[in-house]
Amino acid sequence: MRDEAGDAPPSIRTRGLRKVFRTGERTVEALRGVDLEIPEPCFHAVMGASGSGKSTLLHLLAGLDRADAGEIEVGGRRVDRMSEADLTLYRRRAVGVVFQAFNLLPTLTALENAAMPGVLDGRPRAECSERAALLLRELGLGDRFDHRPDALSGGEQQRVAIARALHFSPGVLFADEPTGNLDSASSERLFELLGGIAAERRMIVLVVTHEANAAVRCAAATILRDGAVAGGFTTEGLDADDLAARAAELARPAR
Ligand SMILES: Nc1ncnc2c1ncn2[C@@H]1O[C@H](COP(=O)(O)OP(=O)(O)OP(=O)(O)O)[C@@H](O)[C@H]1O
Ligand SMILES: [Mg+2]
């Protein structure tokens, strides 16, 4: 079951995307005209120095914040033109998001956390639990339904967050440094899992990462520099060192 926006094959396109943050006297141009095109299902990395605008870009694509200018098209729908009501449904059903900090509700079990999007959407509880149970089993958490987040490892918590994000079978999954709180072994397993999700579910999985040895598992990488796309490349034939070198070259400040 793919909902509304998800019916179209997943794709992402932005044109001239700009975002300015104003705090007191200070103005930060976080995005200064991002042009991005991911035309089909793909496991895709976004890299770049700290402050280059990676999280800001993901937030705009996921409908968590509004751009100041530019176009965003996801699955053929213009996200930048959506009303607040449409944007709420888009966030909930058409895309999934996972963060570095997992962001699970601490008082709820794994099953209840994974069922949450359906419950918030007003669907019958039994249906939501059934869907959550199916996803948790698929993600290898069949024996963890009743565990609260503090009784789960970091890798397990992140998989619950992924189950929650996949509740409505979105066409796109955004992950912002999803392995930032994991050790390197769990980190590798999580990237393998995300790659499998992109391939098997025919999704775009767009993942922000600083780790070249994780990013090599992606099919392609886009590098941001100073709020714009500095370039991109496919990872075919690259090892982690090659990828780190190419990313660093593109991320280097222009003179
Ligand atoms: N809510 C905000 N208010 C003010 N400035 C912000 C806000 N969010 C981000 N910024 C600024 O916008 C720029 C881009 O930030 P962003 O978080 O997108 O970077 P990033 O590439 O994700 O960095 P990191 O790798 O450290 O997570 C930075 O200069 C940051 O300080
Ligand atoms: Mg960030």
pLDDT in tens, 224-255: 999 999 999 999 999 999 999 999 999 987 65
Whole-model pTM? 0.94
Q: What is the distance in A from the centroid of ligand 2 to the CA of 230?
A: 17
Which of ligand 1's atoms lies nearest the C-alpha of 56? 18
Spell out the domains of the chain, with CATH numbers in brackets.
4-103+168-251 (3.40.50.300)
> Residue 46 CA: which ligand is closest?
1
Ligand 1 centroid – CA 51 distance (Å): 5
Three-class HEC string of the chain = CCCHHHHCCCCEEEEEEEEEEEECCEEEEEEEEEEEEECCCEEEEEECCCCCCHHHHHHHHCCCCCCCEEEEEECCEEHHHCCHHHHHHHHHHHEEEEECCCCCCCCCCHHHHHHHHHHHCCCCHHHHHHHHHHHHHHCCCCCCCCCCHHHCCHHHHHHHHHHHHCCCCCCEEEEECCCCCCCHHHHHHHHHHHHHHHHHCCCEEEEECCCHHHHCCCCEEEEEECCEEEEEEECCCCCHHHHHHHHHHHHCCCC
Res 255: pLDDT: 57
In this prediction, residue 87 has a pLDDT band, given cuts at 50, 70 and 90, of very high
Q: What value does the mean pLDDT take over residues 68-88?
A: 96
Q: Give the ligand with the smallest distance to the CA of 61.
A: 1
**Mutational pocket test of ligand 1: of 19, 31, 47, 56, the residue with most ligand atoms within 8 Å of the beta carbon:** 56
Q: How far is the CA of 143 from the centre of ligand 2 (A)?
A: 33
When pLDDT is cut at 50, 70 and 90, the band that residue 9 belongs to is confident
- Percent of the chain at pLDDT exceeding 70: 96
Nearest of 231, 219, 203 to residue 35 by alpha carbon: 231
Q: What pLDDT shows up at residue 7?
A: 60
- With 70 as the cut, is the pLDDT of residue 2 above it? no
Residues with CB under 6 A from ligand 1: 21, 23, 28, 30, 48, 50-56
Distance from the alpha carbon of residue 107 to the mean position of ligand 2, in angstroms? 27
Residue of minimum CA distance from atom 28 in ligand 1: 51
Whether 117 has a pLDDT exceeding 80, the answer reads yes
